[in-house]
Amino acid sequence: MTKSLHGTPRSSTILWATLLLATFLTWSMGALGETGRWGVAALAVISFWKGAVIILDFMALRHAPLLWRAITMGWMIVVWAVIAIAYIKGLAQ
């Protein structure tokens, strides 16, 4: 059976609630003064996952031709990799 490109109200509501929960988690990490490379690594992983939900589910690229999915997800991978490299470079100072 085929299904909608944009998911169901139920699936998108669950994703939205999970995104809000992840936002609360990262906000509380900041509020508690969570620092250090592991805190930053966790923050980056959570933020990457949130971006992936937007790209794959909200932008509906999960059902797009592979090339478009690869370009957009690839963009996010490169951006976070550059941020990580710069962060590590900063730690070495």
Partner 1 sequence: METSTTTLSASPAQAHVHAGPRLAGDLAIWFFILAELLAFGVFFAAYAFTRANNIELFNAEQAALNRNAGALNTVLLLTASYFVVRAVQAAEREASRQCANWLVGAILTGFGFIVVKLGEYAAAFEHNISLSSSPFHMFYLSLTFFHFMHVILGLVILIAMWNGARQGRYRPGDMNGLETGAAYWHMVDLVWLILFPLVYVIH
Start-to-end CA span in the chain (Å)? 57
Compute φ and ψ for 6, nearest 5 degrees. -105, 15
Residue given tokens 């031709």 in the structure block: 65
Q: Does 86 participate in binding partner 1 (rule CB under 8 A)?
A: yes
- Taking the C-alpha atoms of residue 49 and residue 20, their distance in angstroms, rounded to an integer, is 12
CB 89 → partner 1: shortest distance, Å? 4
Q: Does 5 participate in binding partner 1 (rule CB under 8 A)?
A: yes
CB 25 → partner 1: shortest distance, Å? 11
Contact residues for partner 1, defined by CB under 8 A? 1-9, 12-13, 15-16, 19-20, 23, 26-27, 29-31, 35, 40, 43-44, 47, 50-51, 54-55, 57-61, 63-66, 68, 71-72, 75-76, 78-80, 82-83, 85-87, 89-90, 93
